[in-house]
Amino acid sequence: MSSDPRKPRRSPERTEDPPYYEALGRAIKVARTELGLERKDLAARAGVSYAYLSDIESGRGRPSSKALRAIAEALGVSPSLLMGSAEARTARASLPPRDERWTSWERPPAAASPSARGRPSPPSLRTELRMLIDELDPNDVPVVLELVRRLVGR
């Protein structure tokens, strides 16, 4: 990004999905702070302007694919890890309040139990996770594992 002081700064783009881009910005900020980087240092490493990075981190703007890749490389992660973190944060934000969610990974809620007509209950979350993991490309498993570790705070 050019930092010519004579050029007026473009106003941030209106985002089509503000919660997602706020979550993406938060993921970038968290990764940056975990590395102990200041915003100006990350901007320099990624080759983007401080103002652009600020807009991205605050969710006011969305990064181009080129900028996202450069930011991810400067953070030492893949762009998909940052986007996956944003997706997870967005999905978590849309979950019902804690008391309305399942209390066990093994037990579906009463409403999902088999009815008198004999319909089978849906697979438990743990079973579903196992099935999804089996479908993953082996190269993606470490990325997913790292994402899960970050979500649970390890």
Q: Where residue 94 falls among pLDDT bands split at 50, 70, 90? A: low
Report pLDDT digits (tens) over 128-138: 777 777 777 77
Instruction: Spell out the SS3 assignment of 56-104.
Output: HHHCCCCCCHHHHHHHHHHHCCCHHHHHHHHHHHHHHHCCCCHHHCCCC
Q: Looking at residues 68-94, what average pLDDT do you find?
A: 86
Residue 54 in contact with residue 116, Cβ under 8 Å?
Answer: no
pTM score: 0.53
Instruction: Name the residue with higher pLDDT: 141 or 108.
Output: 141
Share of the chain above pLDDT 90, in %: 28
Residue of 58, 47, 49 whose CA lies nearest to 25:
58
In whole angstroms, what is the distance from residue 54 CA to residue 23 CA? 14
Mean pLDDT of 22-47: 92
Residue found by looking up tokens 């037990």 in the block: 107
Mean pLDDT of the chain: 75
- What are 137's two structure tokens? 């490309």
For the domain bounded by 8-94, which CATH number is listed?
1.10.260.40
Q: Could you state, in order of their start, the residue ranges of all structural domains in the chain? A: 8-94, 99-108+120-154
Whether the predicted pLDDT of 34 surpasses 70: yes
CA distance 17 to 134: 31
- Residues 35 and 25: their CA atoms lie apart, in Å, by 16
Residue-wise pLDDT for 96-137, tens only, equals 554 444 444 444 445 444 444 555 555 566 777 777 777 777
Rounded to an integer, the average pLDDT of 43-70 is 94
